[in-house]
Chain A
Amino acid sequence: GENVEQHPSTLSVQEGDSAVIKCTYSDSASNYFPWYKQELGKGPQLIIDIRSNVGEKKDQRIAVTLNKTAKHFSLHITETQPEDSAVYFCAASIEKGSTLGRLYFGRGTQLTVWP
C-alpha cells in the first residue's frame, strides 16, 4: 500500500516568517494530495488540496506544490500568524473509477508560531 512520510515532526517559526512542511509518497499511482490542519481539541480540517494534473495551487497565504517525478509535495505558509499554530497532516490517495479512495496520512507536523 501507499506510504507517506512527513517532515519535520515539529517546526517553530517567528510570526511573519514562512513555514514549509514536506511529504513524500511511495505509490506513483497516487494523484490526490490533501492537507489537513488539526487544532487542539478539534478534528482535522481540510485547508488545501492538489491533484496531480497541476504542479502548484495557492489560496491566500497557503500554497501547495507537487513534484510527481520525485513523488513529493509540500505545504508553504507565508506571513505566519499565531493562529496558524496547529498540527498539519499531509495525505495521499488514488482516485479510481471503481472504488472509494482511501487516504494515507503522514504522521503530522506540530507547527508553533511565536509572536
Chain B
Amino acid sequence: ETGVTQTPRHLVMGMTNKKSLKCEQHLGHNAMYWYKQSAKKPLELMFVYNFKEQTENNSVPSRFSPECPNSSHLFLHLHTLQPEDSALYLCASSQGAVRGLGTDTQYFGPGTRLTVL
C-alpha cells in the first residue's frame, strides 16, 4: 500500500444529498491533492494544499468544498452534485515544501468511486 487511505471506497448519492470524502496519509507529507478521474479523460487536478494552505483551486465548482484541518487529513465536501460529477476521486500526497520546490513525487490513494443519481 502507498500510505494514503481514502474512505469511503464507493459512494452513491442523490443530487440533493450532502456527503464528504476523507483522505488520510501516513507518510509524514505536507502537501495533499484532490484529483478527478473520469473515463477517457486525463486526471484533472482539483485542489492542492501545502502545509494546510490551499495553493491551487483549478476552477472547481463551488459544490465541491475542500477542507484540510492538518497535514495528514484532507476532506472533500460534496453538495447538490450533478450526474456528470460521477467519477473516481483520487487523493494524493507529497513531501511539499515551506517555500515551494517544484515537483516532488505524488503518492495516490485508491480513490472513491462516486456515482451521482
B101 and A100 within 8 A (CB): yes
Distance A94 CA – B111 CA, assembled complex (angstroms): 25
Chain A residues touching B, range = 20 to 34
> How many residues on B have C-beta within 8 angstroms of the other chain's C-beta atoms?
29
Partner of B55, one of A42, A45, A100, A106: A100
Distance in Å: Cβ of A86 to nearest Cβ of chain B: 13
A41 CB-CB contact with B under 8 Å: yes
A-B pairs under 8 A by CB, number? 75
Distance in Å: Cβ of B56 to nearest Cβ of chain A: 7
Q: Return the CB mask of B73-117 against A: 1 if under 8 Å, else 0.
A: 000000000000000001010001101111111111111000000
13 new A-B contacts, CB < 8 A, other than A100-B56, A101-B103, are: A32-B103, A42-B111, A43-B90, A43-B108, A89-B43, A99-B55, A99-B102, A100-B31, A100-B50, A100-B101, A105-B43, A107-B41, A107-B42
